[in-house]
Amino acid sequence: MFNSYISKTRKSRVLYEKAKKLLPGGVSYAIRHFEPYPFYTVEAKGSKLYDVDGNEYVDFWLGHTALILGHSPPTVVEAVKNQLEKGTHYGTSHELEAKLAEKIVKFVPSAEMVRFTNSGTEANMYATRLSRTFTGRSRIAKFEGGWHGGYDALHTGVRYPFDVRESAGLTSGVLQDTIILPFNDLERVRERLMNEEVASVVIEPVLGAGGGVPAEKEFLKGLRELCDDNGTLLIFDEVITGFRLALGGGQEYYGVTPDITVLGKILGGGFPIGAFCGRKEIMKRIDTLLYERPHYSFHGGTFAANPISMTAGLATLKNLEDGQLISRLNNVGAEIRKQLTEIFKAEDVDVKVTGAGSLFNTHFTKEEVKDARAASRADKKKLVDYHLSLVTNGVFFLPTHNGALSAAHSEDDIEKLFSETAKYARQCKAT
């Protein structure tokens, strides 16, 4: 498979050799690397990526799952073009920030007030700080396999083994303040938090980097009650699930309302964004007109609420607001999970397909995948082979990460995913 990929991607290889000398690891984000080297995209339209060698890929990675309308959707491009003429970055107040905040408040059950950032990482960082401000507590908790970006306090317990530091440069002081909890196991969470006073518990309604594992509804409900009993704020990191599982994100999908919600990806319509929102009494702790130093919780940034991201976000939400697209994509997602399971089963390859709504993830394992531990026990080599087999044949996603659907995916695109998967499954059985 390596040889076939290499012979199709010669120009990419040259670009990669050059990039390796300039960017550590040759990439701008380690997860974008795969062996033998990543292909180099020159154009993206609809459901497709095109690389420098002229190869076409049906894209299920969708810019880290951000592009629910596909690449360069005409309505978003048009709106952004118009905005470009009026200014790229004001650094002042402008109406678009209130307009997008208004939409978030309308759609997201937990949102009464909003602040914008440039990334999900930043939004999680400020949300964590806000939870500490509001509760007056220092410690926080997150889940095994939970990915909330590279902010020190949350950059722990992401990959198995969960007790190995995720990065050098994290201080013991920071890490000691973060408790790592087992996912989908309420009893053990209750035990672990029994004698703790934590400011917040942050959870992804569906683990993203942790393997596309949905939280169980009863688990989320129990977690909500536990947080209420302990005076702890519940934070939903909906950077992936926001505007994807439902217009109101995972909280609408599960019927469980957190205190603070973190958003990103889809909200930016293909441009950099993050946001955090929640109840007024909590969000008001950011208000420097109400609270003096050191009682307010700082948030800000040069590009916060930049007009291009606001415009693209508004144009994107316009396409989602009647709920029809999300509901259609959720149905296709369910069908994909079912079909992929059947395709592997037909060839006696042990696979569990996880995900929810329009997200799907493939694990080469016999066991139920209910947490990131089970996901980590799956056969990684087979997953990497499956990935390279699909990429070589024009279907793209990143191994271990969620595949996602967009409005731009056609029946033929989905059919291609199935036929290439069937090809791999047959090959897998034969070896």
Ligand X SMILES: Cc1ncc(COP(=O)(O)O)c(C=O)c1O
**Under rule CB under 6 A, residue 148 binds ligand X:** yes
Count of residues for the chain?
Answer: 431
**Under rule CB under 6 A, residue 9 binds ligand X:** no
**Under rule CB under 6 A, residue 200 binds ligand X:** no
In angstroms, the CA 11 to CA 129 distance is 45
- DSSP state letter for 242: B
**Under rule CB under 6 A, residue 147 binds ligand X:** yes
- For 286, the 3-state DSSP assignment is helix
Query: Residue from 119, 184, 261, 309 that binds ligand X (CB under 6 A)?
Result: 119
In angstroms, the CA 312 to CA 232 distance is 34
CB-wise, 243 or 424, nearer to ligand X? 243
* CB-closest chain residue to ligand X: 120
**Under rule CB under 6 A, residue 242 binds ligand X:** no
- Separate counts of helices (H) and strands (E) for the chain: 16, 14
- For 345, the 3-state DSSP assignment is helix
**Under rule CB under 6 A, residue 64 binds ligand X:** yes
**Under rule CB under 6 A, residue 208 binds ligand X:** yes
CB-wise, 48 or 64, nearer to ligand X? 64
**Under rule CB under 6 A, residue 121 binds ligand X:** yes
Give the range of 190-198, 218-226, 232-240, 322-330 binding ligand X by CB under 6 A.
232-240
Determine the distance from the C-alpha atom of residue 117 to the mean position of all C-alpha atoms in its chain, rounded to a whole number: 16
**Under rule CB under 6 A, residue 240 binds ligand X:** yes
Provide the greatest CA pair distance for the chain.
Answer: 69
**Under rule CB under 6 A, residue 124 binds ligand X:** yes
In angstroms, the CA 203 to CA 371 distance is 12
**Under rule CB under 6 A, residue 149 binds ligand X:** yes
**Under rule CB under 6 A, residue 413 binds ligand X:** no
Q: Angle 324-346/411-430 helices, nearest 10 degrees?
A: 20
CA distances from 13 to 10, 40, 95, 351 (A): 5, 8, 46, 32
CB-wise, 13 or 265, nearer to ligand X? 265
- The beta-strand segments (E) located in 46-173 are 48-51, 56-59, 113-117, 140-143
**Under rule CB under 6 A, residue 409 binds ligand X:** no
What amino acid is encoded at 316 in this protein? Answer: T
In angstroms, the CA 220 to CA 183 distance is 10
**Under rule CB under 6 A, residue 239 binds ligand X:** yes
Q: Give the residue from 148, 315, 160 showing the smallest Cα distance to 241.
A: 148
**Under rule CB under 6 A, residue 252 binds ligand X:** no
CA distances from 417 to 58, 279, 396, 397 (A): 8, 42, 9, 10
In angstroms, the CA 386 to CA 390 distance is 6
Q: Which stretch of DSSP H or E encloses residue 41?
A: strand 41-45
CB-wise, 344 or 396, nearer to ligand X? 396
**Under rule CB under 6 A, residue 144 binds ligand X:** no
**Under rule CB under 6 A, residue 264 binds ligand X:** yes
Smallest distance from ligand X to CB 240, Å = 5
Smallest distance from ligand X to CB 136, Å = 25
Contacts with ligand X, 353-392, as mask; x by CB under 6 A: ----------------------------------------
Q: Give the residue from 406, 427, 384 showing the smallest Cα distance to 330.
A: 406
**Under rule CB under 6 A, residue 120 binds ligand X:** yes
**Under rule CB under 6 A, residue 403 binds ligand X:** no
CB-wise, 38 or 149, nearer to ligand X? 149
Give the range of 2-10, 145-153, 163-171, 294-302 binding ligand X by CB under 6 A.
145-153
CB-wise, 147 or 243, nearer to ligand X? 147
In angstroms, the CA 313 to CA 271 distance is 8
Binding site for ligand X (CB under 6 A): 64, 119-121, 124, 147-149, 204, 208, 237, 239-240, 264, 274
